[in-house]
Amino acid sequence: MRELPRVLTATALAVAALACGSGTTPASREPGDRPNFVLVFIDDMGYGDIGAFGSRENRTPRIDAMAAEGMKLTSFYAHPVCTPSRAALLTGAYPIRNGLQTGYWHPVLMPADPQGIHPDEVTVAEVLKQRGYATGIVGKWHLGDQPEFLPNNHGFDYYFGLPYSNDMSPFMPLNPRNHPPLPLLRDGDVIREVPEDQSFLTGAYTAEALSFIDRHHAQPFFLYVPHSMVHVPLWAGEQFKATSENGILGDCIEEIDWSVGQIRDKLEEHGIAANTLVFFTSDNGPARGSAGPLRGRKGSTYEGGLRVPTVAYWPGTIPAGTSYGDTATTMDILPTFASLAGGEYPAERIDGHDISGVLKGDTARDSPYEAFYYYRGYELRAVRSGAWKLHTDGTLYNLEADIAESRDEAATHPEVKARLQSLLEHAREALGDGPVWPGDPGIALPPTARPIGTISRSPELLIPRHGASGSAAHEPPIRSKTTNVTPPPGFERPANW
């Protein structure tokens, strides 16, 4: 096997001029004070894409070392696609509660959509900010690109990154949705247009993350790093191109591993590794990578669509070489971080659970989830309770004995099927169940659903279209006149929807 490329911070240094200082004044930290949090959120990384979860194609030594020195969470769930997954992560709630289960007219939010995260939603950044944390996001947002929806209005002191997916660009083949120029933002301001060659992105994010730690290491901080890779189009930094044994996908994954290592090294440099929880996970299953032993991929509600590779690392607090196999989810991030920071949050708005006890070593405790519900768009598709998973088509699987969901046991365990069927009915009443597409008729959301953020004016692109003038320069990819719309004539929904 070839050796990993010897890269220090050349990629990061090449874009370090993009970085700038923050106006936040450092606060003093008392001994044993609130821990720091670094949350690394990869885009489209599958369960089998890193060595710690069985990959033999991608070399990920720094992430694998975190797993060996920390904890693997092997039944950790996100949601099937980008926008709902990020909504669940930041708000601690099923996305169907806050209107972000889909985009305005697409499975995810698109450029210049008139909707996004509501101003009343409470994010993990807002919870931690109330406890004196410096809060920063470096990477992909994807909860709305209009000013009201951007991170600085939802608890983040600092923001650097893309407002949505890196494929929402005019350089995608044929550009079937007429995507506008792709903007790179800092604190809501466009600082440059992203060219077709996105090879600088992971390095730029890494430089910004390291700079944030440099500025805030003397106070409690929360750093959220939602990488754009390994979402297509795949671009690796110069030092990583054609260096892996798995093509461009492997190049990108190995650069992500390098980036994680750079962050770990920076924590060590400042002597704060023992007071920092690093949490590494993915937003959904693979689009091009590997789901390992799991059935399904991104967009699916089989396990491969939303069970994701997850590692928690906190030397001296998380016992080394441990594993937790019961259900946990991205919705647990907010209550867990709040608990560890001594923060308060509106528990009545939260579907997640505090798993700080698990992270501290109590891996024998049962999952706090009586049930975890799988949604595809607004449509309820399955429920997991303990080892059992029931799909709405009536198939029943024992995930502990059959992780691949290959043996239907509905006929041999009718009592289990009946119990889980009652849980599905409860979800329909408490959360809702409707067609996948937001514009399809028949969606009746329950009283527990909260409003989605919606602007009262016409949305505008963050970068005007080249060669256009007037309103045409700011037209969204496909303009719609109502909030409940049917996809435009001739529009083809993705195959996995």
**Residues with catalytic annotation?**
82, 142
Collapse the DSSP code of 296 into the 3-class scheme (helix H, G, I; strand E, B; otherwise coil) and give the result.
coil
DSSP conformation letters of 211-255: HHHHHHTTS-EEEEEE--TTSSSP---GGGTT-SSSHHHHHHHHH
Apex CA 281: angle with CA 280 and CA 285, to 5°? Answer: 160
Long-range contacts, stretch 179-182, CB < 8 angstroms, 24+ apart: 179/111, 179/477, 180/111, 180/112, 180/461, 180/462, 180/463, 180/464, 180/465, 180/477, 181/461, 181/463, 181/464, 181/465, 181/466, 182/463
Which residues 6+ apart lie within 8 Å of 489 measured at CB?
none
CA atoms lying within 13 Å on the CB side of residue 315: 11
- H-helix or E-strand spanning residue 303: helix 303-306
**Residue 307 DSSP class:** B
User: Nearest to residue 288, comparing CAs of 336, 337, 251?
Assistant: 251
**Environment class of 21 (CB within 10 Å of its CB; exposed 0-12, middle 13-18, buried 19+):** exposed
